[in-house]
Amino acid sequence: MSPEDLLREMFARAVEVADPMRSLARFLPPKPEGRVVVIGAGKASARMAEAVEAEWGPCEGLVITRYGYARPCRGIEIVEAAHPVPDAAGVAATGRMLDLLATCGEEDFVLALISGGGSALLIRPADGITLAEKQALTQALLASGAPIGEINGIRKEISAVKGGRLAVAAYPARMLALMISDVPGDRPGDIASGPTVGHSGDAARARAALERWGVTPPASIASFLDGGGDPVTPDDPRLSLVENLIVAAPSQSLAAAAETAEAQGYTVEILGDAIEGEAREVARAHAEIARKARGPHVILSGGELTVTRRGDGVGGPNAEYALALALALDGAPGIHAIACDTDGVDGAAEVAGAVIGPGTLKAARDAGVDPQAALDINDAHSFFYKIGAQVVTGPTLTNVNDFRAILIQPPE
C-alpha cells in the first residue's frame, strides 16, 4: 500500500467508526412507552435520526442539519439550514422545534440528537438580537482565529436555545441527549454550544473574549452582554430530568486509525485528540516532530485548529495546516501527511482537506503555483486543487472534527 493510500485509508476508518449507524445503537434504550419526540441539530443529526429509526421504527420529531446532509427518515422530519453562518431556515426550524417541545408533558420522553454544527443550525437569538446581527458576529468570530470553546461561550450568552435552554423548553418531559463530540476535551456543554447542558453564565467573560479577538459586536449584542444575560445554571431543577451521553468522540477515531497503521507495520504516536491553535503554527511544530521521528512511524492528532483571516483566499484549517506543513518540511524525504475534517467540509469549502508528500512543493512549481503566496492569503484549497491533492469525500454524515496523520517511511 502506498503512503498516500494508507493515509486515506486511516482517514476513512476514522470516519467510519464515528458513523452514527455504527456508534449510536448501543447507547439507545428500549423505546419508551407512551409519546416519544425526537429532536436534534448538527451535521450528524440526520444520520443519527436515521440510526434511531433503524432501532425504534418511525418516530415523531424534527431534526435540523446542514444543507446536503439530510437522510431518509420515516417519521422524523429533517430540515436543512446553513452552516457555519446561520440563516433564516435555521431560525424557522428552531422555532418549530420549540413549538413541538411546548406540547410535551411530564409523561413524554424527548430524545435529543446533538452533534457539531448545531451551534449554527439551532438558532434563535436572545430577545433584542436579530439574525443579521448574529450572522455578522459569527462571520467576525470565524475570521478572528478564536478557538471554538470561546466562540461557543459567546454563542451561549446570546442565544434563546443554547446553554441548556433547549432542555428547559422540553421540561417537564424526560430527556436523553445523545451527542457526537467535535470539541477538544469532549465537554458536553461545548458540543453545539450545549443546548441540553446548563452553564454558569458569564457575560463579562464573553465581552472580554470579543475584545481579546478584536471583534466589535453589534450594539444590541453589546447591550445584552452588558446586562448580564440570563443563564440556565447546571443546578437548575428543570435540568434534573436530562441525561447527556457522548456516543462518538475523536479519541475513538484516532484509535481506529492507529489500528489501521499498525496492521501495516507502523508504530503509532498519538499527540492528542484535543489540539488547538493556529493551523500554520501547529503545522510547524508537527514538522519538527516528524523530522526527528524514525520510520516506519505514524503521528496522529485531532482537535480543532483555527485560522486567522489574512487574505481573501479559499481555505480551511486542515488545508492550511497541510500547506504550512509542506512548507515547513520542504520536501523532506519519506514524510507524507493528510489533514481533513471528519465531516467532509474544511472551512466553508466542500472539501475535506488535503494530502502532502515529498513531491508537493515540486508539483506546485511544475504547476506554476507559489505555496507561500497561497498561505499568505489563506488560499490553501485553491493551492491543493491546482496540484490535484485535495481530499473530497462529500457529506460523511458524522463529525468528530480534525483528523491529522503524518507518515514517516523508513530510510531506503
CATH number of residue 264's parent domain: 3.40.1480.10
CA separation for the pair 108, 34 (Å, rounded): 7
Same domain, 311 and 240: no
Same domain, 400 and 343: yes
Question: Terminal CA-to-CA distance of the chain, rounded, Å?
Answer: 16
Same domain, 63 and 74: yes
Cβ count near 84 (within 10 Å)? 17
Each residue's pLDDT tens digit, 60-92: 999 999 999 999 999 999 999 999 999 999 999
Q: Identify the band that residue 396 occupies on the pLDDT scale cut at 50, 70 and 90.
A: very high
Last residue of a domain, one of 224, 248, 272: 248
Question: Going by C-beta distance under 8 Å and a sequence separation of 6 or more, which residues neighbour residue 194?
Answer: 152, 156, 162, 163, 164, 188
> Within a domain: residue 138?
yes
Peptide bond into 296 cis (omega under 30): yes
Q: Are strands 242-248 and 174-180 parallel, antiparallel or unpaired?
A: parallel
Dihedral of alpha carbons 370, 372, 373, 378, sign: positive
Peptide bond into 231 cis (omega under 30): no
Residue 24 confidence (pLDDT): 97
> Within a domain: residue 208?
yes
CATH number, position 155: 3.40.50.10180
- Asked whether residue 136 carries a pLDDT value surpassing 80, the answer given is yes
Residue 368 confidence (pLDDT): 97
Each residue's pLDDT tens digit, 105-127: 999 999 999 999 999 999 999 99
Same domain, 261 and 244: no
> Within a domain: residue 189?
yes
166 in Cβ contact with 15 (< 8 Å): no
Q: Among candidates 325, 260, 261, 272, which has minimal Cα distance to 295?
A: 261
What burial letters (b/e) apply to 266-293, b meaning 16+ CB within 10 Å? bebeebebbbbbbbbebbeebbeebeeb
Q: Where are the alpha helices (DSSP H) in 309-368?
A: 317-329, 360-367
- Asked whether residue 132 carries a pLDDT value surpassing 90, the answer given is yes
Residue 331 confidence (pLDDT): 97
- Asked whether residue 96 carries a pLDDT value surpassing 90, the answer given is yes
> Within a domain: residue 24?
no
Residue 230 confidence (pLDDT): 78
Same domain, 260 and 286: yes
Same domain, 341 and 222: no
Residue 91 confidence (pLDDT): 97
Query: Per-residue pLDDT averaged across 289-295, rounded?
Result: 95
Same domain, 93 and 225: yes
Specify the length of the chain in residues: 412
Same domain, 255 and 244: no
* Phi and psi angles of residue 196, each rounded to the nearest 5 degrees, phi first: -115, 15
Query: Per-residue pLDDT averaged across 288-315, rounded?
Result: 95
**Residue 388 falls in which region: left (phi positive, over 0), alpha (psi -120 to 50) or beta:** left
> Within a domain: residue 21?
no
Residue 348 confidence (pLDDT): 77
Query: Per-residue pLDDT averaged across 20-28, rounded?
Result: 96
142 in Cβ contact with 215 (< 8 Å): no
Each residue's pLDDT tens digit, 339-391: 999 999 998 789 999 999 999 999 999 999 999 999 999 999 999 999 999 99
Residue 402 structural domain: 3-12+251-408
Up-side HSE of residue 308: CA atoms within 13 Å toward CB? Answer: 11
- Asked whether residue 152 carries a pLDDT value surpassing 90, the answer given is no
- Asked whether residue 147 carries a pLDDT value surpassing 90, the answer given is no
285 in Cβ contact with 401 (< 8 Å): no
Same domain, 360 and 230: no
> Within a domain: residue 357?
yes
Last residue of a domain, one of 207, 223, 248: 248
> Within a domain: residue 56?
yes
CA separation for the pair 214, 212 (Å, rounded): 6
Mean pLDDT score of the chain: 95
- Asked whether residue 229 carries a pLDDT value surpassing 80, the answer given is no
- Asked whether residue 140 carries a pLDDT value surpassing 90, the answer given is yes
What burial letters (b/e) apply to 361-373, b meaning 16+ CB within 10 Å? bebbeeeebebee
Same domain, 207 and 278: no
> Within a domain: residue 25?
no
Cβ count near 98 (within 10 Å)? 18
CA separation for the pair 47, 44 (Å, rounded): 5
Q: Is 181 exposed, middle or buried (0-12, 13-18, 19+ CB in 10 A)?
A: buried
Each residue's pLDDT tens digit, 166-210: 999 999 999 999 999 998 889 999 999 999 999 987 888 899 999
- All three cell numbers of 392, joined, read 473530497
Same domain, 7 and 73: no
Q: Which long-range contacts (CB under 8 A, 24 or more apart) does 136-143 make?
A: 136/218, 137/215, 137/217, 137/218, 137/221, 138/84, 138/85, 138/86, 139/85, 140/215, 140/216, 141/213, 141/215, 142/84, 142/85, 143/308, 143/309
Q: Among candidates 154, 142, 161, which has minimal Cα distance to 64?
A: 161
Same domain, 314 and 210: no
Number of folded domains in the chain?
2
Q: Where are the alpha helices (DSSP H) in 112-218?
A: 118-121, 131-144, 148-157, 165-170, 203-212
Last residue of a domain, one of 248, 280, 297: 248
Q: Among candidates 252, 254, 344, 357, which has minimal Cα distance to 299?
A: 254
Q: Among candidates 189, 179, 199, 197, which has minimal Cα distance to 245?
A: 179
How much of the chain, in percent, has pLDDT values that exceed 90?
90
